[in-house]
Amino acid sequence: MDIYVKEVVRGWKEFTLTNNIIEISILNFGGIITKICTPDQHGNTENIVWTFNNYYDYEKNPLYLGALIGRVSGRIPDGRFKINQQAYQLEQNEGTSHLHGGSDGFHQILWDTQIKKTESTAELQLTTKDIASSGGYPGCLNVSITYRLTKENEFSIHYRAVPDTATILSLTNHTYFNLSGNMKNSIYQHHVTIPSSTILELDNSLLPTGRLLDVTDTAFDFRSGALLRKGLKSLPDIKQLALADGYDHYFVFENKRSYVDVYEQTSGRTLSIETNQPGMVMYTANQGSQGYALTDGPLPAHYGVCFETANTPLALYQDKLPSMIIQAGALYDKTTTFQFGTRQPFSSANKNRTSNQ
């Protein structure tokens, strides 16, 4: 296990965690994951996440590439919410909505850092104190984010935070994955398994309507696994997919600890995601890279997929969903773990669960 550090731009540092099989690079600015390099089934190591060609593009980062998202991920309608009947108004940075923590969210913070390595782990800890009324949110918030890579090829993101006043919180990471390697193919050949029987319906503004939709016999049923190609190729005929030009939907998990499996058929790469978050937005990069220069060139739609494990802002308005209100002095404690591996070409005998080699 090892950690390499280099200066990049504007005083930013890039930390690379490695176990001599996998390399994961992270900026102290925005906690941004810039690269994840893993081998395919033939031993060829390639980058499997979107990366800007120029570090300066991370400064504005309109695509939220690889970034930490907070205080709240997703869209809050009109930027308004209440805690104990006290109303709060947040910045409206996407139309009338508040998106991904606002323009000064956690993706724009220069984090304090501490590194630690042992024989079995390499670890980067990011910390900050988000001040009261930052972006309109109530209270000060002490935040600690720990990125940890193990010799078993597990990469975890551990989110911890304690507010001094009741506030709302839902943290995630916005990395765009493409397991084909170096973005050489679309995500059509990604076979995805999601333990969710319901999604949140979207309206024309991509805001949840409040309705839970049963996924049975729809393009949103990934309980037994399905290729992304199936839904994305038929999206003009499926209203919910046509609204977003692909998937941008919140999947409600069945259990307190849930597992998502991804397998890319051409490379043999696997990605298993374990989380204690209540659900996940799967976003299939429906507008492509929007002309921004990536290391692999400009990318069209559906060349990346985000797995944004988090709570949903709809919880602010519906009691049937887990609350995202964190009381003063309480601990917000969430972890999402990504395990990387490979397997032989897809067959019916091994379709239900990935195996790591």
- Domain residue spans in the chain? 2-350
Q: Looking at the domain that runs over 2-350, which CATH code has it been given?
A: 2.70.98.10
Examine the pLDDT at 345 and tell me if it is beyond 80.
Answer: no
Q: Which residue has the higher pLDDT, 355 or 185?
A: 185
* pLDDT for the residue 11: 87
Is residue 160 a contact partner of residue 333, using CB atoms and an 8 Å limit?
yes
Examine the pLDDT at 271 and tell me if it is beyond 90.
Answer: yes
pTM beyond cutoff 0.75: yes
Average pLDDT over residues 115-120: 96
Strand pairing report for 332-342 and 167-168: unpaired
Least confident of 91-100, 153-162, 337-346: 337-346
Examine the pLDDT at 127 and tell me if it is beyond 50.
Answer: yes
Examine the pLDDT at 357 and tell me if it is beyond 50.
Answer: no
| Segment 299-317, tens digit of pLDDT | 999 999 999 999 999 999 9
| Segment 188-215, tens digit of pLDDT | 999 999 999 999 999 999 999 999 999 9
* pLDDT for the residue 355: 38
What is the rounded distance in angstroms from the CA atom of residue 199 to the CA atom of residue 68? 24
* pLDDT for the residue 347: 42
* pLDDT for the residue 172: 98
* pLDDT for the residue 10: 84
* pLDDT for the residue 352: 38
Describe the strand order of the beta sheet including 13-18 as a list of residue ranges. Answer: 2-7, 13-18, 23-27, 33-39, 45-47
CB hemisphere CA count around 88 (13 angstroms): 20
Q: Work out the pLDDT band at 353, boundaries 50, 70, 90.
A: very low
Q: Work out the pLDDT band at 293, boundaries 50, 70, 90.
A: confident
Length of the chain (residues): 357
Closest alpha carbon to 219 in 192, 257, 180: 192
Examine the pLDDT at 255 and tell me if it is beyond 70.
Answer: yes
What whole-number percentage of the chain has pLDDT above 90?
A: 89
What is the rounded distance in angstroms from the CA atom of residue 10 to the CA atom of residue 317? 40
* pLDDT for the residue 287: 95
Strand pairing report for 332-342 and 325-326: unpaired
* pLDDT for the residue 291: 87
Q: Work out the pLDDT band at 133, boundaries 50, 70, 90.
A: low
* pLDDT for the residue 356: 40
Strand pairing report for 13-18 and 23-27: antiparallel
What amino acid is encoded at 208 in this protein?
P
Is residue 28 a contact partner of residue 36, using CB atoms and an 8 Å limit?
no
Average pLDDT over residues 257-277: 97
* pLDDT for the residue 237: 82
- How far is residue 140 from each of residues 71, 162, 210, measured CA to CA in Å? 11, 9, 30
